[in-house]
Every structure is written in C-alpha cells, then in structure tokens.
Structure 1
Amino acid sequence: MKTRESPRRLWALVASTLWLFAVSALSTAHAATPGTPRQAEAVSPQVQALQRAGDAVVALRVTATEGATSADSLGMRRSGSGVVIGPDGLILTIGYLLLEAETIEVITQDDRTLPARQVAYDLATGFGLLRPLVPLRGVEPVPMAGVAGLTLGEPLLVATGSSSGTEVGFTRLIAARPFSGYWEYHIESALFTSPPVANHSGAPLFNRNGELVGVGSLFVLEAAGADRTLPGNMFVPVELLRPVLAEMQSTGSTRASIRPWLGLSSSERNGHVQIVRVDRQGPALAAGLQPGDVVLEVDGIEVATLEAFYKQLWKRPAPDAEVELTVQQGSETRKIRIQAVDRMQTLRKPSGI
C-alpha cells in the first residue's frame, strides 16, 4: 500500500498507515476493547512517533565529480532519501549516493532545498552521513532501534523523499541474515523485506513505534533466501551504526573501511566465485583479471562463496598488501598477483578540496 503526500507534512500518512500498525500493536493488548477511549489513548503515542519519523525524512540530490569512476555504475546524478538522526541536523543515508560527490542537496518536508556537505562514508557498513549547510527548522531526530525486537512477518513502514512528494509504503520483514554484495562488501546482519519499494536508496525503514531500524540499499530477487524467488529490498540495520557513529563523525570513515580492495564485482555461480565486472581503474584490471574468470583460491586458501573470498582478502592488516589469486580463465588455471589498494584513497574529492 502506498500513499503520495505533500512534501510539507506527513499527517495524512500517519492517519492512513496507523491502522495497519495499530492492528498489529493492539492485537495482543489486554487493555480496552476496540472503539473505547482507552484504546485511543494507547494509539496516540504511535501517532506522534510516526509523525516525528515522517517529518525527519528528506530527499537527496547528488552530482558526482567529473571523471568519477563510481559514475560507471551509479551515474553522475543520483537521487535518494535520508533521515535526520542528530539534533544538529545530521542525516543518515546509504553511502553509495555520496561516493565522489561534487554537490549534495537536501529537500526538506517544508519544500526547502538546502546545500549539504558529506560528513562521512563508511565502506564497511555502507552508511553515509551528511549535514545541511543551512540549519533545519523544527525537525526532531528519529530514535533508532535494534533488530532484536522485530519478528518475521512484522509490518514495517518505508518512507522515500522526492522533490514532488513523499512516497510511503508498507512492507514486511522476511528475513534477517548475513549479506555479501557483488562490490566487495559483506555485513553479518541485513534486513530483507517484501514487497519491494522502487526508490529504495537511503530510504528509512521504521517500526510501528516510529523508530528507525534500517536504511535502504538494494532491490533483490531472493528476499527469502537463495532457494526461493521473492522480490524485495535489502536494508542495512542501523544497529551497525551505533558502534561506529562517533568514529565516522570524527574521522569521516572507520578503521574497518581501511582494507584491501581489488576493484571487482563478483557473483556466486554453481558453487564458485565468478568475476562479472572489473573496475576500469582498479588493481584487478592492471593484473589481467577479466569478466568471466572464476576465483578458486586466495593465497592458496580455497574460496567458494563471496563471504569466504572477502574475509580471506580482508585478513591482511594493510590495505596495500599483495594478494595472490588462483583463477580459472577459460580452460587455463593461473596464479595472479595483485597489489591491492585502499579503496578510500581512490575516490575523487570535490573540486577545491
């Protein structure tokens, strides 16, 4: 179910969506019966919480720097959503929107377009932080919640900002499990929901209490797992942000993001790791790796999954370590040495910095 609302306020959103949350929240309540004043009092805090959550959603417009290599996969102009999590206007989004950004604009619920600057990008979790250069007015930060209180099948709310309005949709929690991305990315916990929302990039995921539980990252075809086709979305849980938030704000990243990077996009096929794309300026291309190559070993250790591949690669203490891959190229098996690099050092910065 979706509701299209004016970007100024989300009161209509609360009115239209409260019922689904209320039914779930009140189904196990042992207080008043439906229709009594006591029930109305119980629901009222949810109205306020969802209102606050909706008001904290913003739209983002990003233009990448000229020559940004990330434009190959993300484009020069990007749009998505963010949500205010700090009293000083700090906004949380998905980090890939901010990669090599030249300009960032925030469109608020009261129709203001504000310039913003990047505060941090964390390669390890995938989170991005930014802050408007002009103070936000009347926006309260949303509280964050962990995944422990969520149950499978629970209804959740997704709100996505845009210059023409705020699109709101219901989804349900399908699974919580580790996730390995094709772009040299792995997290031990990810939230999978269905039905999917189209404008998922940076979209905040709220529980019935208006608490932030995740940030939108991907559209996926197998939300329920590899053995079942079910379109949905992957959200990065905000509980991964808590341990690194202070570090991100003070350093612009985290220590975990300083790790070897090869410049590969890979997938799992038939029990093997297969390369599907090679970054045009990454070390893998210079070493001779090609799309279609199958990675068999990392430094003599067999790897059959993306998770195993990445974890073996990231064992090195230095990001610029030499890595030996055993790969199958056609009918030939080769050992290829690659000088890995620190991905954070390859990203272009805005002009003047």
Structure 2
Amino acid sequence: MDINSVARSMVGIRTSIPDDAFTAGSLGTVREGSGVIIREDGLVLTIGYLITEAEEVWLTTADGTVVPGHALAYDQETGLGLVQPLGALGGPAITLGDASKTRVGDPVVFVDGFGRSLPTKIVAKREFAGYWEYLLDEAIFVSPAHPSWGGAAVVGEDGRLLGIGSLKLVMSRNGTTSDINMAVPVNLLPPILDDLLTLGRVNKPARPWLGAFTAESNGDVVVMSVAAGGPAAQAGLQGGDIIAEVRDGEITGLADFYRQVWKSGQAGSEIPVRILRDGREAWLRVKSADRDSFLKKPQLQ
C-alpha cells in the first residue's frame, strides 16, 4: 500500500450547524472529522452525522488547502454522507474495495484527514444496532481504535477503501476490555450512489421513525430518552419504559425491534407498541414520521 497516496485522498472536514437545528443538542453545532475523495471530480465520502443539517462545510486537504463544500446527501439507513467540494481538492480518488471479502484478523490501516494513520486489524464482522434507530446487517469492527475515527478511512493492504469510521466502542473479551472502532462497509455505497447524487437521498419510501433512543438490557429493549417533539414523545413514551411488543409480535432485542417497526409500513404509519412501566403494561399508538422531515436541509451557497 502507498500510504502517502491514501493520505492525499483524505480531507479534514469541519462543519457548522445552526443553534436551532434538530441535531444541535445531540451532535453539537461544530463538528470535525474526516472524509475521503472517491471520484475524480473530488466527491467526498464521509460519515453522515458530520454533515447533518450543516450550513457551512469546510474541507482541508493534505497540503493544508481549505476549500468550501456542500453537504450533498446523507443516507439515514447506511449512515454514509457525501460532500461536493466547491473548489479543486487536488488529491487522487481512492479505489473502492470489497469489504464482504475481508475476514476477521485481516490487517487494515485506519487513515484520517489530519495526517494520522494507524495499523490495525479487523476483530469482528457482525450485526450492529445503534440506539438512534440504526441497524447494519454486518458492520466492520477494528482494533486498536483510532483516536479520530469519524469519517476516517479503513483501507486494505491493496490500498482500496473498505469502510468509513463511525463510532468508538468498548469490547469485552475474556475479562478484559479494549477500545474498538465500528466502520460502515463501503459496499453499501454503490447501490445507492446514483440516487444520492441526483436526489440527495435514496429513491424509496422513508422508513418509519419513532424518535426513541433505546438500548438492549438482558434482551429487553429499554427507552433511554425520546427526541423532543418526535413521534415517541408525542405518544407519551418515556425514559425507563420497556418496549415488549410491536403490533402483535413480541420483540427479542434491539435489532428485532427495529426490523418490526420498519416492516410496519412507510413513514407516517401508526405503530402500536406494548410497554412496561413501573410494573404495569400499556399500549401506546405512535404515529411514526420521516426522520428527514425534522432536519434542516443544506442550502447551496
């Protein structure tokens, strides 16, 4: 691998988000991370939370050049985002690899947009359910963890892009814990790329969104909190509630909960859920929504 070439394909990303944006409280109004150039026209792939509701996007190249950008697209399902630079970046486009062919134990390099690279390896490939109504059938997990993981590139020994850094997590194994990173496999991008470029989102009905932040505890799905003004809050769902059923089906964990919600219809569908609260059960009817409808849309300057 030519690590210098990979580094030239990377950019630093800094975004500014309005104070009244829906995600300002949870993700902040100034966000920093990385992105990778994936096309000769300079198109940048990153992790979507960096650019969600961004009113300003600034890209910094490997040689220190600062170029404004436009938050072109964010896909809620994969978590991937695209930035169109509004000037020349000068770096080469990286070649997309095939994450599905990787194996646990494979060596990879985690490269960010600030000149730092970390030799690491794949320690797991498995389902990942995130508390914000997010699910990947097979995410990539690498260790040791990169200190600047957001939007950074997981690159194979052949120099091809395998994934985009998303989270830092803690893995427990044999009584010891270690920091790991979760990355979104790049294979998820090609099937949706044309839609993202032309429409800014995937051309299909939006999934129903509840606005509930949930966690799994001993197989139970527990509500940690709800998004202010979101469907779950309006229906009366509260932190501490245990979600036991969706419609007529019991749920067996966080991933199963999401899948049952998503198969209940399109965004806007009314979704009945059975909850346990203070030892009592009740049914709530949550009128779901399209999550994107709560977000500020980027304006091209």
TM-score, normalising length from structure 2? 0.95
Residue in 2 aligned with 1:19? none
Residue in 2 aligned with 1:273? 221
Shift of 1:52: 2.1
CA displacement, residues 218-277 of structure 1 (integer Å, 9 cap, x when unaligned): 01112779x974320100000111111111111111145711001111110011000112
1:147 correspondence with 2:99: yes
Correspondence for 2:183 among 218, 223, 235: 235
Letter matched to residue 285 of structure 1: A
Residue in 2 aligned with 1:342? 290
RMSD of aligned C-alpha atoms? Answer: 1.8
2: CA distance between counterparts of 1:257 and 1:341?
Answer: 11
Answer yes or no: is the 8 Å Cα contact 1:322–1:338 preserved in 2. yes
Correspondence for 2:149 among 200, 212, 216: 200
Shift of 1:317: 3.4
| Greater gyration radius | 1
Give the number of aligned pairs.
301
Correspondence for 1:189 among 134, 138, 157: 138
2: CA distance between counterparts of 1:265 and 1:62?
Answer: 24
% identical aligned pairs: 36
Residue in 2 aligned with 1:59? 12
1: CA distance between counterparts of 2:118 and 2:57?
Answer: 26
Gaps of 5+ in 1: 1-45
Gaps of 5+ in 2: none
1: CA distance between counterparts of 2:248 and 2:106?
Answer: 44
Answer yes or no: is the 8 Å Cα contact 2:216–2:222 preserved in 1. yes
2: CA distance between counterparts of 1:322 and 1:92?
Answer: 35
1: CA distance between counterparts of 2:247 and 2:22?
Answer: 28
Secondary structure (helix, strand or coil) at the match of 2:7 reads helix
Residue in 2 aligned with 1:261? 209
1:252 correspondence with 2:200: yes
TM-score, normalising length from structure 1? 0.81
1:176 correspondence with 2:125: yes
Answer yes or no: is the 8 Å Cα contact 1:324–1:335 preserved in 2. yes
Answer yes or no: is the 8 Å Cα contact 1:192–1:223 preserved in 2. no
The verdict on how the C-alpha distance between 1:170 and 1:184 changes in structure 2, with shifts beyond 3 A counting, is same
Secondary structure (helix, strand or coil) at the match of 1:66 reads coil
Name the structure where helix makes up a greater proportion of residues.
Answer: 1
The verdict on how the C-alpha distance between 1:73 and 1:171 changes in structure 2, with shifts beyond 3 A counting, is same
Secondary structure (helix, strand or coil) at the match of 1:345 reads helix
Secondary structure (helix, strand or coil) at the match of 1:123 reads coil
